[in-house]
Amino acid sequence: MAKFLAKLKKKIIVATIVLAQVVAMATSMTAYAASSKSGFRVEGTKLYDANGKEFVMRGINHAHAWYKGNEETAISAIAKTGANTVRIAVGDGEQWGYDDINTLKNLISLCEKNKLVAVVEVHDATGSDDISKLNNAVSYWVKMKDALIGKEDTVILNIANEWFGTWDGKKWAEGYKQAIPKLRNAGIKNTIMIDCAGWGQYPKSIHNYGKEVFNADSEKNTMFSIHMYEYAGGDADTIKNNIDGVLNQGLALSIGEFGIKHTNGDVDEKTIMSYCQEKSVGYIGWSWYGNGDEWKYLDIANDWSGNSFSEWGNVLLNYKDGIKNTSKICSVYSGSSDNGNTTDIEDEAIATVYEKVKYKGKKVDLKVGTYTLSEMKKLGIKNDWVSAVKVKSGYKITLYEDDNFKGNKLVKKSNNSDLNKHNFDNITSSIKVEKINSSNTTTTATSITVEAEEGILHGVYSNNKISGYSGSGYVDDMETDGDYVEVTIDAPKGGNYNLDIRYASPYDKKIETLYVNGSKIKDVEFPKTSTFKSVSVGTIDLKAGKNTIRIQKNWGWTLMDSFTVTSK
């Protein structure tokens, strides 16, 4: 009996310990869940919103500090661009006036009304090495804490814009290591963002000392920011090294400012956007409007209302990795459970994709809708898997080489048993199935019009952000050698045809190269025009049946809308 009681006692003790561990684990998980639901959280290199969804900033800066009174117009217009974030400069009274708590609350309210995440920053400490300037910014935020507490799910606190202008990471870190605890001790739990040293352009300060700064945050909820102008963002290698140097430390990053060029040199803005998209890093362009004559090239819009956009604005918004093509509204506003990726599906199967040519192997039916790689995998379609397609009359299936409807694409409006004939076998990573708009292709007895966006797109992409196009959009981003759009014309008979190309060239006169059936015909001049117009190319010779017409990048960046051939 004594042995039995001893064994029983031992089992009870073990069970009690196990139960205690389970309860402790459950308590810890509950506490974490409550914490993750309370607002934005940094976990490793990622930023997660209050619903636990990854959030990647795609935003625009607004210089409220020196343009007070334009906030309602500007913030509303910024939201209409598709941005998910606005970074707002405010003043703590040192240089740019004093934005009181009611002003700050109104700015946050405007952002929330327009479904924008607000990144708020004090601009008065810009470029200063003076610790008192940083402490003034901290004191300002402590006074404003009632505007921040309770807004952890919509507001990120960028303590001070570009504090510490000198390229000295150690002293920069010392300043922030004493600043962050003051904010936490005041009860401010919002995610904190820290600009790197050197006017925001010395990322080595984060590479070398970022971990120390992060560890000074009792909430472990701090991310970092690089301002990529001529020094931090001048070329592709510099950009990638600067971004990787932060991520390799296990730290979260956003590009808090960047532009098309800056005082002492060019900026490789497209690599910034593309590499940020590749690495799931946020970016925020500088700035909406009001940069004055000296830095007018940094204006994104041409007025506060955003009625038109500058060269920089068009790149930031409309580039393939720009805001309009990559921004996802924060799930606290959208209610999304899958980061915004939804599939709009009709009731019946419209298209079928096949694993092997000649309609063999595994097949998957698709309804009308959009399918990212993750959606494809849910249906059993592996990456780089599709070899043949069928599609019902009146519909089209568009295959994309990259996920999220990017990269080269192939549009099919009829069955195709072997995609290898189009060099598109086993490379599909996202798919769209759509009903054909009857206006997309028009045929008469004497003329045939084919929309550019329905062709083969190499290095370019379909856009619809500039109004006035025909069909469903136009072809954008023809700027790299080898970029082209190629359409197929099914001529009823062989002979001479007049070719007209509808296009826009908003920045200057451009020249591109015309190919017909693989042969170079001529260089075509496209006069400057901000609206879509037609240019007469002249006479081309077509054979009866299918012919290819290609416009390939020469000078670059002409927007292609449609091709029309008319028999002579």
Number of C-beta neighbours around residue 164 at 10 A: 30
pLDDT digits (tens, 9 = 90+) for 60-113: 999 999 999 999 999 999 999 999 999 999 999 999 999 999 999 999 999 999
Tell me the two tokens of residue 319: 């580039």
* Placement of tokens 């192997």 in the chain: 361
What is the C-alpha separation between 80 and 60, in angstroms, rounded?
12
The amino acid at residue 428 is T
Paired tokens of 19 = 């139960």
CB count in 10 Å sphere of residue 437: 11
- CA–CA dist 246, 166 (Å, integer): 19
Task: Give the fold, CATH level 3, of 351-435.
Answer: Gamma-B Crystallin; domain 1 (2.60.20)
Q: How confident is the model at residue 304 (pLDDT cuts 50, 70, 90)?
A: very high
- Considering only CA atoms, which of 236, 238, 266, 242 is closest in space to residue 256? 242
199 φ/ψ sector (left φ>0, alpha ψ -120 to 50, else beta): left
pTM of full prediction above 0.75: no
Whether 13 shows a pLDDT value over 60: the answer reads no
Name the burial class of residue 413, with classes exposed (0-12), middle (13-18) and buried (19+) by CB atoms within 10 angstroms of its CB.
middle
Of 484, 326, 471, 338, the C-alpha closest to 405 is: 326
State yes or no: pLDDT of 343 exceeds 80. no
CB 243 within 8 A of CB 276: yes
| Structure-model confidence comparison of residues 452 and 3, the more confident one | 452
Given the structure tokens 């390229």, which residue do they identify? 167
Superfamily name and number for 48-333: Glycosidases (3.20.20.80)
Structure tokens that stand for 503 in this block: 């296009």
Of 162, 355, 375, 453, the catalytic one is 162
pLDDT tens-digit readout, 498-525: 899 999 998 889 999 999 999 999 999 9
- What pLDDT is stored for residue 3 in this prediction? 34
Which sign, positive or negative, has the C-alpha torsion 294, 253, 116, 41?
negative
> In this predicted structure, which of 17-26, 130-139, 401-410 has the lowest mean pLDDT?
17-26
Nearest to 74 by CA among 110, 106, 123: 110
> Looking at the domain that runs over 447-567, which CATH code has it been given?
2.60.120.260
Q: Phi/psi of residue 461, each to 5°?
A: -150, 165
Q: How far is residue 388 from each of residues 230, 411, 552, measured CA to CA in Å?
A: 47, 13, 28
Q: Which amino acid is at 535?
A: V
Q: Tell me if residue 103 falls in helix, strand or coil.
A: helix
pLDDT tens digit sequence for 122-162:
999 999 999 999 999 999 999 999 999 999 999 999 999 99
DSSP 321-361: TSHHHH----HHHH--SSTT------SSEEEEEEEEGGGEE
388/360 Cα distance (integer angstroms): 8
Q: Alpha-carbon distance 533 to 197, whole Å? A: 48
The pLDDT confidence band at residue 7, using thresholds 50, 70 and 90, is very low
Given a contact cutoff of 8 angstroms between Cβ atoms, the answer to whether 64 and 99 are in contact is yes
Instruction: Identify the burial level of 287 via C-beta atoms within 10 angstroms of its C-beta, where 0-12 means exposed, 13-18 middle and 19 or more buried.
Output: buried
Q: Is 71 a catalytic residue?
A: no
Question: Which of 53-57, 317-321, 447-451, 481-485 has the weakest average pLDDT?
Answer: 447-451
User: pLDDT at position 437, please?
Assistant: 56
- Place 267 in a pLDDT band, splitting at 50, 70 and 90: very high
Whole-angstrom distance, CA of residue 273 vs CA of residue 325: 11
Position 472 pLDDT exceeds 90 = no
Give residue 184's identity as a one-letter amino acid code: R
Q: Do 390 and 359 meet the contact criterion of CB atoms below 8 Å apart?
A: yes
> What pLDDT, on a 0 to 100 scale, did the predictor assign at position 448?
85
Q: Name every residue whose Cβ is closer than 8 Å to that of residue 188 and which is 6 or more positions away in sequence.
A: 141, 142, 145, 148, 149, 157
| Active-site residue, selected from the candidate residues 257, 375, 434, 512 | 257
CA distance 367 to 346: 6
Helices (H), 39-130: 71-80, 101-113
The question of whether 43 is a catalytic residue gets the answer no
**Alpha-carbon distances of 274 from 235, 277, 504, rounded to whole Å:** 13, 5, 24
Closest to 450 measured CA to CA, from 402, 400, 411, 409: 411
pLDDT in the model for residue 335: 58
Spatial CA neighbour of 50 closest among 153, 192, 157? 153
Domain borders along the chain are 48-333, 351-435, 447-567
